[in-house]
Amino acid sequence: MKDIVIKGGYVYDPLNGIDGEKVDIHLSDGKVVEKTKKNAKVIDASGKTVMPGGVDLHSHIAGSKINIGRLMRPEDHRKDEVPKGKYTRGGVGYSCPSTFVTGYRYAQMGYTSVMEAAMPPLGARHVHEELIDTPIIDKAAFPLFGNNYFTLKYVRDGDQEKLNAFVAWMLRATRGYAVKIVNPGGVENWKWGRNVYGLDGKVEDYDITPRQIVTSLAKANEALGLPHTIHLHCNNLGMPGNYKTTIETMEVAKAIKPKKGRKTTIHVVHCQFNALAGDNWMNVKSGAPHIAKYVNGNDHVTLDMGQLIFTDTTTMTGDGPWQFALWNMTGNKWVNSDVEMEAGAGVVPYTFKKNNPANTVQWGIGLELALLIDDPWKVYMTTDHPNGGPFTYYPKVMAWLMSRQARTDTMRELNKAVLKRTSLANIYREYTFNELAISTRAGTAQALGLKDKGHLGAGADADVAIYDLDPTGWRPSQYKMLEKAFASAAYTIKGGEVVVKDGEVVSTPLGATHWVDVKIPSEVEEDLMKDLAEDFKKYYTVSLRNYPVEDEYLPIQKVHKTRGAWK
């Protein structure tokens, strides 16, 4: 692979304090280096914006849920057929794109790393098979823990050490990266047609609460020294008034001692769906100012937007009770899925409409969160793909963040509820290019603990995005120009290889899969395995021996090792 020098561009590299300076970037052997060889290929980035490759910390791109969506939405695919290209395979796109198209379209936007945010452990092989099938981008998957039988058992028994060991073992067994929690306790109750409401509702058959589940898993996460905090989908998602539960949940994690080297102990996902005020859908309004005030006053929490897009999409989540509620509201197609002993899911197509008062409020909430939280290192740009809308709308979200004019023009098309029930019309803040780089690259990489991602310093992965936009001459009124540039990168470089040029995919290498390997003391692991073996025989349809994912499912892998803290 030939060395590359990117010359003359305006570089935004927040982790290294570079804010729009003209800096040459040298790439060699898949890494950013101080100096390249004399015969290095030169890319002239004069008049262009240069950033690290995008890092999406919350998306749904592989596994059972997205496949259910693919199967149930032929109408979704018909409107977005993707023909075979010179370097690319054919496929289908839109809200549930096929694996190949997913990799192509992320790369075309300058994204080089994407996290699959909800992996049922029993389906881990399936997830990894699809991640292998997704070209170009690096990826990782977050196993679901919040309603897992063993999690609930050890929380009930008050056995924190065994829970710690189980989390460590499960990450290794599934080749997973982070602890994902969805509606803790509520999905377990859904097996009996019920839910939990708030942090102190009772979980059927275990006599424990969501508060105990969140607290115990947060303690395990930090004791094990995992690179990312708990990745939490709060209780009461989609319910008017739920901002109170969200703040209460954030407060639960405040008492947890963080891993050495970071302040945070919780990441709240797609917070737009958990930032609703009001009593019902008729009077729903924004609770974003309350959440923003809390986040501004506390350093232990980060969140992502889950920005709503006005389009037809496919909602899918491990929160089965919520999807059942959405089906009752819409009468659309509905699939409910249960994963034995571990998790569940629901899938319902949905169209977010500009004339729907509740939808316009939701749209405003996502942007309020990003604009009212002072520190961009605490809030990251997502659409919770495909729940709030397809990830291909990221450039439009960028325009809303960076241009008040873009927000105003959109608000003119919406139901007036957005003006009356959110504060968005009175917010004048506009993101800078540096803040955008934090929200989509530097901040997300830092939150995930991916030290080689999200920056362009020596030793970083050679993942670079170059956009045909001069930031020194751009004005917020020219937001359509920004949308166009960020939708179609002039260059995307992945691992030192040019994979996109002028918006077209020109190479399709296989990216790496990241996972965490926690060292467990032999005596602790031996005790855990005896416990697992006994319950696997009683309850599972697969044997314990056949459960773990083999290395063959990760042909290119990046292992993050940690020892954790043990007695």
Give the pLDDT confidence score for residue 1 in this predicted structure: 76
β-pairing verdict for 379-380 and 301-304: parallel
Residue 416 CB partners (closer than 8 Å, separation 6+): none
Residue 528 CB partners (closer than 8 Å, separation 6+): 162, 165, 166, 169, 520
Give the pLDDT confidence score for residue 37 in this predicted structure: 85
What is the C-alpha separation between 324 and 331, in angstroms, rounded? 10
Residue 1 CB partners (closer than 8 Å, separation 6+): 29, 30, 496, 497
**Residue 236 belongs to what domain range?**
52-448
Q: Please indicate, yes or no, if residue 489 is contained in any of the structural domains.
A: no
Residue 473 CB partners (closer than 8 Å, separation 6+): none
Q: Which of 518, 494, 460, 454 is nearest to 178 (CA)?
A: 518
Give the pLDDT confidence score for residue 567 in this predicted structure: 63
Give the pLDDT confidence score for residue 313 in this predicted structure: 97
Domain CATH for 166: 3.20.20.140
pLDDT truncated to tens, each residue of the chain (567 aa)? 789 999 999 999 999 999 999 999 999 999 999 999 889 999 999 999 999 999 999 999 999 899 999 999 999 999 999 999 999 999 999 999 999 999 999 999 999 999 999 999 999 999 999 999 999 999 999 999 999 999 999 999 999 999 999 999 999 999 999 999 999 999 999 999 999 989 999 998 999 999 999 999 999 999 999 999 999 999 999 999 999 999 999 999 999 999 988 999 999 999 999 999 999 999 999 999 999 999 999 999 999 999 999 999 999 999 999 999 999 999 999 999 889 999 999 999 999 999 999 999 999 999 999 999 999 999 999 999 999 999 999 999 999 999 999 999 999 999 999 999 999 999 999 999 999 999 999 999 999 999 999 999 999 999 999 999 999 999 999 999 999 999 999 999 999 999 999 999 999 999 999 999 999 999 999 999 999 999 999 999 999 999 999 999 999 999 999 988 876
**Four-point Cα dihedral 180, 92, 394, 235, nearest 10:** -30
Q: Please indicate, yes or no, if residue 20 is contained in any of the structural domains.
A: no
In this structure, what DSSP letter does residue 549 have?
A: P
The label of the residue with tokens 């859908």 reads 281
What is the C-alpha separation between 317 and 144, in angstroms, rounded? 11
Q: Please indicate, yes or no, if residue 252 is contained in any of the structural domains.
A: yes
What is the C-alpha separation between 500 and 170, in angstroms, rounded? 36
- Residue 479 token pair: 């937001």
pTM, rounded to two decimals: 0.97
- Residue 427 token pair: 């917010």
Q: Please indicate, yes or no, if residue 373 is contained in any of the structural domains.
A: yes
Q: How far is CA 196 from CA 184, 185, 199, 306, 340, in A?
A: 8, 7, 8, 23, 19
Residue 101 CB partners (closer than 8 Å, separation 6+): 82, 91, 92, 93
Burial letters 338-353, b for 16+ CB under 10 A, else e: ebebbbbbbbbbbebe
Burial of 502 (0-12, 13-18, 19+ CB in 10 A): exposed
Q: Please indicate, yes or no, if residue 28 is contained in any of the structural domains.
A: no
Q: Please indicate, yes or no, if residue 19 is contained in any of the structural domains.
A: no
Q: How far is CA 408 from the centre of its chain?
A: 27
What is the C-alpha separation between 75 and 444, in angstroms, rounded? 33
**Four-point Cα dihedral 479, 380, 386, 417, nearest 10:** -70
Q: Please indicate, yes or no, if residue 481 is contained in any of the structural domains.
A: no
Q: Residue type for 19, please? A: D
Q: Please indicate, yes or no, if residue 280 is contained in any of the structural domains.
A: yes
| Overall number of domains in the chain | 1
Are 167 and 148 in contact, with CB atoms under 8 Å apart?
no
